[in-house]
Amino acid sequence: MKVFLVAGEASGDRLGGALMSGLKMLATPRFFGVGGSMMQAQGLDSLFAMDDLSVMGLAEVLPRYLHLRRRLAQTVAAVLETAPDVLVTIDSPDFGLRVARQVRAANPAIRTVHYVAPSVWAWRAGRAARMAQYVDQVLALLPFEPPLMEAAGMACDFVGHPVVAEPHPDAAEVAAFRARHGIGDAPLLLVLPGSRRGEVTRLAPIFGAAIRRVLDARPEARLVLPTTAAMVPLVREAVAGWPAQPLILSPDDPDHAAEKARAFHAADLALAASGTVSLELAHARTPMVIAYDMAPLSRAILSRLIRVDTLTLVNLVSETRAVPEFIGRACRPEAIAPALLEVMARPGAQEAAMEATMQRLGEGGEAPGLRAARAVLAGC
C-alpha cells in the first residue's frame, strides 16, 4: 500500500507520525511525501524540508509566495508520479488542500484524505463545500466537526485529539523539576508566545509588559518558557528586556520532551498564544490566559470573517467561556495582566472546563493515531 502524506508544520508532523505508526500496526504501507522529524522517524524520506511550508498569516506568506508555488508544483508532481493508494494532507490547509485540488484535477482516481478539519465553525464556512469537490474523507480532531463536513458531502470521522495520548509525568517528576531549577514553592508562570518567528516577535513584547505588571504584584513568581530549536536565538533576544528572565527549555536538552511536559504540569498558570496549546494546557490541568495578535493586514481581514465569540479550543469543546482570551486589538498588557492575577487567585475556576474538554476529546480511549489509521484504511 502506497501512502503519500503532506505535513507543513510541527503539529502536522506529530499527527503524521502517529498516523504512520498506526498504519504500520494495521497494514504494510510504503510512505512518500513531505514531513518533519517525527514522520521521518516512521520511515518517510521527505521530498524537501518541511520548514519551507511553516508560514502563517497573509502578510507573512506574501514575501515567500513564489517559493511556496514552486514547492506546491514539486509536491503535486511527486504525488502524480507515485500514484499512491491514498493522499493524506495533514493540517496546513492553505498548502495541503491546494495539493489535493490539483491532484484531483490531474488524476481523479487518487483517493484524498485531509487530516484536521478546517475551522469552518470559526470562519470561511464555504470552505467545506469547496473541499468536497476534491477531498473524499476528513479526519476530525474535534467532536463537533463531523456533521459540518458531512453536510458538505464528505465522509468524516472523529478520531480524537492527539493531546489525549500524551503521558503525564508523575508527582515526583514534577517536584524534581521544581527543585532542579530552584523554583521551590514559588508561583510558576508558563509563558508560550508561539512557535513561529512572527508570533514570537509580535507577542514577546506584549507578554513581557504583562508579566512586568504581574511581577509588581507577585514578585516571587518565576517564569519558564519552552521553545523550539529554531526559535532559541530569537527567544533569548526577545526576552532580554523582560523584568525577570525565564528558564528557557531548549531542545538541545536530550530530555527536552519530558522536561517540557514537567514544566506544563509544574506551572501554576500559563500565558499562551492562541492555538492547540490550550488543549496541551488542559491536558496538564494548568489554568491559562490566551492572548494573540497578528500582522495588521491579517488582523483587519480576519476580524471581519470570524463567526464565533471565542477562539480558545477549551472554551469551544467544553461549551464554556472559562478561559480568558485577548485576541487582536484586545491583546494588550494592561488587559492581560489583571486576568493572570485573577487566575492566580482562583486556580480552580477552569477545572471543570478542562476536565470536560479532555473527556470529549477521547481521553482514556484508543490512541488517536490508531483511530485515524483505521479510518484511512476503512475508506480504502
pLDDT digits (tens, 9 = 90+) for 146-175: 999 999 999 999 999 999 999 999 999 999
The pTM of the full predicted model, rounded to 2 decimals, is 0.84
Backbone φ, ψ for residue 143 (5° rounding)? -70, -20
pLDDT band at 219 (very low <50, low <70, confident <90, very high): very high
The answer to whether the CB of 349 falls within 8 A of the CB of 322 is yes
Query: Which grid coordinates belong to 103?
Result: 491532484
Region 319-330: mean pLDDT is 96
What integer pLDDT is reported at residue 63 of this predicted model?
Answer: 59
Sign of CA dihedral 60, 66, 67, 72: positive
* Interhelix angle 368-379/10-26, nearest 10 degrees: 70
**Each residue of 293-313: pLDDT tens digit?**
987 777 777 777 787 889 999
Cβ atoms within 10 Å, residue 60: 17
Average pLDDT, the chain: 93
Region 316-325: mean pLDDT is 97
What integer pLDDT is reported at residue 117 of this predicted model?
Answer: 95
The answer to whether the CB of 153 falls within 8 A of the CB of 49 is no
pLDDT at 128 over 90: yes
What integer pLDDT is reported at residue 59 of this predicted model?
Answer: 47
pLDDT at 55 over 80: no
pLDDT at 64 over 70: no
Q: Which residue's C-alpha cell is 516512521? A: 42
Nearest by Cα to 53 from 71, 30, 80: 71
* Interhelix angle 256-266/171-180, nearest 10 degrees: 100
Q: How far apart are CA 143 and CA 290, in angstroms?
A: 22
Backbone φ, ψ for residue 89 (5° rounding)? -95, 135
Q: How far apart are CA 332 and CA 271, in angstroms?
A: 13
pLDDT at 190 over 70: yes
pLDDT band at 275 (very low <50, low <70, confident <90, very high): confident
pLDDT band at 58 (very low <50, low <70, confident <90, very high): very low
Sheet holding 111-115, edge to edge: 30-34, 2-7, 86-90, 111-115, 137-140, 155-158
Among 126-135, 235-244, 292-301, 350-359, name the one with the lowest average pLDDT: 292-301
pLDDT > 70: percent of the chain: 97
What integer pLDDT is reported at residue 111 of this predicted model?
Answer: 98
Cβ atoms within 10 Å, residue 235: 21
pLDDT at 104 over 80: yes
How many helices and strands (H and E) does the chain possess? 17, 12
pLDDT at 56 over 60: no
Cβ atoms within 10 Å, residue 100: 26
What integer pLDDT is reported at residue 299 of this predicted model?
Answer: 79
Q: How far apart are CA 21 and CA 371, in angstroms?
A: 11
- Tell me how far apart the terminal alpha carbons of the chain are, to the nearest angstrom: 10
* Type of residue at 308: V
What integer pLDDT is reported at residue 251 of this predicted model?
Answer: 79
What integer pLDDT is reported at residue 62 of this predicted model?
Answer: 59
What integer pLDDT is reported at residue 220 of this predicted model?
Answer: 97
Cβ atoms within 10 Å, residue 38: 19
Q: How far apart are CA 42 and CA 169, in angstroms?
A: 25
Q: Which has more confidence, 52 or 272?
A: 272
